[in-house]
Amino acid sequence: MLASADSRKYSGEIEQRTNDRTADSKKESSTDQIRVHLKLFSPTKADKWDTRHASIDSSSNYTLTMARESDLDDRKTRERHLEDQLQDIESGDIPSDYEDDFLDCESCVDCYLHFEWLEMIVGKVTLQRTEFSQETQIADCKAYLIRRHEIADSFWDAMTDLDPQIDELAFELFDRYGCLQPKFKNHPLRRGCSVWNGELDEGDILIIGDIRVSRSQRRKGIGSKLVHAILEPTGRKSRDFFALISP
């Protein structure tokens, strides 16, 4: 009986310590602050809000700010785009009045400056453990809002030489006029459950690129939180759109 009582007492102490650690862990996790930060890259494009909605600076789900040069993760890509655009101006492919936009190229952060139909949105998720600790980035992705009606006559041509994630989806899914390719509507295998009809032939297109989440933060809904944050302002910028997420 004594051995049994000691065993129960020891077991109870272990259980209590386990419960204490669990409570401490929950207490620590409850102080974690997860925030979504969205960046827009062109003031003129950022001002394009659907007439049904007023522009917003942020919401309870995210903060929304204009990007700076320090936000660019690929300076060489930006410089290459700017060089291509300057060459287009010199060759006459772009109206000369665009030249004023390039007078301050060093401070320009929009890689797609003269593509008025294309707006880039960059989203990042940060984690702050305590009130006094620094924020750590745990997820990020890029999204591209394509105003399809502005390039319907030359969809494929417009998609050429853009971000690879845009190219792949645009040429794989859509025809030269920006409509969903017939094989995804009629093909016995590629049409899947045949849910796609004409609804993807109209409206703007939001392409959400690779969503990168830190290994330790996966399976916690971080990616979904980021996607929903991007969808919210897009719904205010576009009257009618659908979203595609890069596989």
What's the pLDDT score for residue 99? 46
What's the pLDDT score for residue 246? 81
Q: Which residues contact 16 (CB under 8 A, 6 or more apart)?
A: none
74-76-79 Cα angle (round to 5)? 115
Nearest Cα to Cα of residue 200 among 171, 180, 178: 180
What's the pLDDT score for residue 43? 81
Spans of the chain below 70 pLDDT: 1-30, 51, 53-57, 70, 72-108, 187-197
Query: Can you spell out the DSSP letters for 232-247?
Result: HHHHHH-SSEEEEE--
What's the pLDDT score for residue 206? 96
